[in-house]
């Protein structure tokens, strides 16, 4: 296979645990990274960085994320979402990516990651969950469904978008978002953050208009 390194299923099973984790975590390529903001029934704000974000559908507007196996005395994001039914997703930008990364630390339930990691909290009227003030693209969601994944004890958490806040410079006339305009970042694995740039724009693909790639 030339310059390609090959791993069989048996190779993967026998790998050192951390090597395998690093390999598989980065194998899926670049992923969106967002800060999920929640608040407890005791009004303690929580903020945590998540990278397993997935678009579910546009009508109704649904976005999902993967909740890792629940940990005793932690997993505050999940418990707050179940208790209050609402949460926010906030894009991460180049100028506060380090702050965002450290929200992944296991803080005690009575500690606000907003304060611990130097980020400002803002609230929208009649919506209980906190937004990240520094984020230029953010949304408020209502929890609608969780789907358990038994193979690794994770959950797909699905929310419906009810509020959207976007910096005007990032919003194109046709409704698309120009993420470069706000220095959006993405992540590979759990801790390698990247900026990307748009390299091309193509029309809607139709079978009768595919270019002749053979010539």
How much is the pLDDT for 27? 94
**Contact predicate 186/30, CB 8 Å:** yes
Q: How far apart are CA 185 and CA 196, in angstroms?
A: 7
**Contact predicate 46/76, CB 8 Å:** yes
Q: Is the pLDDT score of 73 beyond 80?
A: no
Contacts of 70 (CB under 8 A, 6+ apart): 78
Q: Is the pLDDT score of 68 beyond 80?
A: yes
**Which of 1-5, 21-25, 162-166 comes out lowest in average pLDDT?**
1-5
Query: Tokens standing for 62?
Result: 């649904």
Q: Considering only CA atoms, which of 47, 46, 78, 74 is closest in space to residue 148?
A: 78
How much is the pLDDT for 190? 85
SS3 letters for 22-42? HHHHHHCCCEECEEEEEECCC
Which tens digit of pLDDT belongs to each residue from 18-32? 999 999 999 999 999
Mean pLDDT of 182-207: 92
Q: Is the pLDDT score of 72 beyond 90?
A: no
Band of pLDDT at residue 196, cut at 50, 70 and 90: confident
Q: How far is CA 130 from CA 7, 35, 63, 170, in A?
A: 44, 11, 18, 22
Which tens digit of pLDDT belongs to each residue from 48-65? 999 999 999 999 999 999
**Contact predicate 15/9, CB 8 Å:** no
Q: Is the pLDDT score of 1 beyond 90?
A: no
Query: Tokens standing for 110?
Result: 């009575």
Across-strand partners of 143?
Answer: 159
Label the pairing between strands 34-39 and 31-32. Answer: unpaired
Which tens digit of pLDDT belongs to each residue from 114-142? 999 999 999 998 899 999 999 999 999 99
- Write down the mean pLDDT value for the chain: 94
Mean pLDDT of 83-109: 96
């Amino acid at each position: 296979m030339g310059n390609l390194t090959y791993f069989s299923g048996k190779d993967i099973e026998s790998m050192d645990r951390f090597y395998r984790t690093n390999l598989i975590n980065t194998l899926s390529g670049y992923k969106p990274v967002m800060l999920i903001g929640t608040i407890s029934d005791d009004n303690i704000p929580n903020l945590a960085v998540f990278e397993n974000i997935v678009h579910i559908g546009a009508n109704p507007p649904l976005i999902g994320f993967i909740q890792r196996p629940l940990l005793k005395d932690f997993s505050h994001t999940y418990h707050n979402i179940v208790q209050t039914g609402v949460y926010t997703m906030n894009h991460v930008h180049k100028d506060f990516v380090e702050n965002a990364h450290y929200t992944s630390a296991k803080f005690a339930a009575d500690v606000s990651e907003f304060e611990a990691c130097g980020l400002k909290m803002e609230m929208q009227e009649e919506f209980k969950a906190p937004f990240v003030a520094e984020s230029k693209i953010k949304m408020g969601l209502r929890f609608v469904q969780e789907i358990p994944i038994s193979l690794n004890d994770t959950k797909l958490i699905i929310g419906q978008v009810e509020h959207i806040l976007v910096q005007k410079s990032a919003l194109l006339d046709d409704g698309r978002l120009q993420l470069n305009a706000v220095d959006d970042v993405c992540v590979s694995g759990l801790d390698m953050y990247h900026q990307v740039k748009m390299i091309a724009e193509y029309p809607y693909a139709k079978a009768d208009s595919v270019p002749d790639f053979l010539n």
